[in-house]
Amino acid sequence: MQRRILAQIKSSNPNYRFDLYSVDWSTGTASLTGFGGKASEVKFATDLKAGDWGLRVTSTGTVGESYSIHMNAASPADTPINGKAAKLTSYSNNLLYTVIEYPNGDIKVNGTQIANTTVANPNLEWSREFNFSSGGSYSSRSHDVSDVRVKSITTPVKYTSNYASSDNAVLIVLNADTLFTYFESAYSSGNPPYHSSSFVDTSGRTTPRRLDFIDMAGDPDILVYDLDTKKVIDFVSNLNYYYAKGIEPQPTVVYYN
């Protein structure tokens, strides 16, 4: 299967470079492919075919310093659409993880499909509900994120919060037109009884509503997606009542190298 390849040689010696060769064992020859780069350059190509390959490290100057080579060929290639090819949107320091957006809008992390940037993503919907009752009183609060529109996705992280945690998650930055709904209500029996309800979110605007340019101008609204369970586990946003009001501490995020 044809693959996309991401590679880098790291060294304190800027004269080092690597080059990729195609190996033909039947003739005992290795042919230069034209794919390669100097120290610290991250090189990306879309047409690594099935076969045998070899790397050659050379120097245009001095030698003797150590080096390391990092490479990722986990993502499958694709056919360009209207002349557009897939683009590398982010990668980890050691190239172990890559995020690639394809011409049709698909976003894949190391070849695994997560979302699409051109349509809604029903697999990314999230909700959280709280209900409490005691005697003749009750209170409730709910958040719902649906019709999810995606702007970008990060490489894998370790995510920790009071509400949910994951050792293998990605952060999904939401785009405008994502639908958000907030609702709270309370009731207390008494004389007279008390009842209140509201669809107003923490920004002071009435929901259900779609995220717009005002939301996009502020801190990003982020869904946390667990790669193991393939489910959204949290919503990190100023629209999340628990984070906005400081009821729960802000989550911690550690990016993997």
Structure tokens at 168: 């293998």
Structure tokens at 219: 């801190």
pLDDT of residue 81: 66
Cα-based angle 123, 127, 128 (whole degrees, multiple of 5): 150
Amino acid residing at 223: L
8 A C-beta contact, residue 48 and residue 38: no
C-alpha–C-alpha distance, residues 51 and 28, integer Å: 14
Structure tokens at 171: 């952060």
- What does the pLDDT profile of the chain (257 residues) look like in tens digits? 788 888 999 999 999 999 999 999 999 999 999 999 999 899 988 878 888 999 999 999 999 999 999 998 877 777 666 667 788 899 998 899 999 998 899 999 988 999 999 999 999 999 999 998 888 888 999 999 999 999 999 999 999 999 999 999 999 999 999 999 999 999 988 778 888 999 999 999 999 999 999 999 999 999 999 999 999 999 999 999 999 999 999 999 999 98
8 A C-beta contact, residue 3 and residue 44: no
155 DSSP assignment: P
C-alpha–C-alpha distance, residues 25 and 30, integer Å: 8
Q: Shortest CA distance to 166 belongs to which of 75, 257, 74, 251?
A: 251
8 A C-beta contact, residue 40 and residue 10: yes
